[in-house]
């Protein structure tokens, strides 16, 4: 799917095309395949689900070294992709950096959103996207990230990614190394390379300090708290929910900054319940 000069995104659709669209926006340096199959299938029971690879991940164009861009440009990619798919308005679900991008859509393109759900993220202008008094990432994660992008063979890269997921998962729900090793084997096969994506860590982060603008948002928004998140720990989610004028806050007990099988069911129910309520209200108004 072309979204910019020389840039194409890999896109996958699932579910009935006649149902309301739902766009899944993944986090930094992560392929769209990181969304668990069970979550995609669960949401596809009531939506036309669209997931995709950001630039410099998966099967999308890898060209950051030749054509660097800003994080905010990834939000523009999402809008252009909706245009190319002929989608006027979609529910948007964003995780981590994907939650940052969905916040930008809430401000820049609210007319394109039916609803928003953000999880494992921080408000614009805080966390990794800014400076605030809220707690930052765990020290062990910051230390581990120093080895991101190093040259490794396939098995060593798999080991690195599984350990990364273990750190991200936290201690609230069980961590199954085999589950995440199988996930990353699929991601590497999908991408066609074991090279770890790093472009989003290098991308310009200017233009993200827009938290105060969230107060004007009227799009129905669900903020999902991950109480064991080692990147955006409490109280990041309540802080974000307090900034967004239309937000409600819900918690998935034990969830960290990963989507293991243990949290997929509760998370899918929260998202599906939120979008179903919005769709029902739109039908009632009509």
pLDDT score for 132: 75
pLDDT score for 256: 98
Task: Tokens 């999308």: give the residue.
Answer: 60
If you average pLDDT over residues 239-264, what whole number do you get?
97
Q: Which of 200, 229, 236, 246 is catalytic?
A: 229
Q: Which of 96, 115, 122, 191 is catalytic?
A: 96
200 counts as catalytic: no
pLDDT score for 246: 85
In this structure, what token pair is assigned to residue 92? 């948007």
122 counts as catalytic: no
Helix (H) or strand (E) holding 263: helix 261-285
- Name the residue with higher pLDDT: 149 or 251: 251
Q: What is the largest CA-CA distance in the chain?
A: 57
Is the pLDDT score of 176 beyond 90?
yes
Is the pLDDT score of 130 beyond 90?
no
Q: How confident is the model at residue 129 (pLDDT cuts 50, 70, 90)?
A: low
Is the pLDDT score of 152 beyond 80?
yes
Q: How confident is the model at residue 133 (pLDDT cuts 50, 70, 90)?
A: confident
Closest to 134 in 3D by CA, of 122, 142, 149:
122
If you average pLDDT over residues 147-176, what whole number do you get?
96
Q: Does residue 228 contact residue 170 with C-beta atoms inside 8 Å?
A: yes
């Amino acid at each position: 799917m072309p979204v910019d000069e020389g840039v194409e995104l890999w896109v996958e659709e699932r579910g009935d095309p006649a149902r309301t669209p739902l766009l899944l926006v993944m986090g930094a340096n992560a392929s769209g395949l990181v969304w668990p199959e069970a979550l995609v299938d669960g949401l596809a029971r009531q939506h036309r689900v669209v997931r995709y690879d950001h630039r410099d991940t998966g099967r999308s164009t890898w060209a950051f070294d030749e054509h660097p861009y800003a994080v905010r440009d990834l939000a523009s990619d999402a809008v252009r992709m909706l245009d190319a798919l002929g989608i006027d308005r979609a529910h948007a679900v964003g995780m981590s950096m994907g939650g940052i991008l969905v916040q930008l859509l809430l401000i820049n393109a609210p007319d394109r959103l039916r609803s928003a759900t953000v999880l494992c993220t921080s408000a614009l202008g805080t966390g990794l996207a800014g400076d605030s008094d809220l707690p930052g990432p765990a020290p062990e994660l910051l230390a581990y990230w120093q080895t991101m992008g190093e040259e490794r063979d396939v098995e060593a890269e798999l080991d690195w990614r599984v350990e990364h997921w273990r750190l991200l998962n936290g201690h609230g729900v069980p961590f199954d190394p085999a589950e995440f090793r199988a996930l990353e084997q699929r991601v590497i096969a999908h991408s066609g390379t074991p090279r770890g994506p790093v472009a989003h860590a290098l991308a310009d982060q200017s233009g993200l300090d827009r938290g105060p603008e969230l107060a004007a948002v009227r799009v129905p928004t669900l903020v999902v708290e991950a109480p064991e998140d080692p990147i955006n720990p409490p109280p990041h989610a309540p802080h974000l929910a307090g900034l967004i004028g239309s937000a409600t806050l819900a918690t998935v007990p034990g969830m960290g900054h990963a989507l293991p099988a243990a949290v997929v069911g509760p998370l899918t129910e929260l998202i599906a319940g939120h979008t179903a309520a919005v769709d029902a209200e739109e039908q009632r108004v009509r």
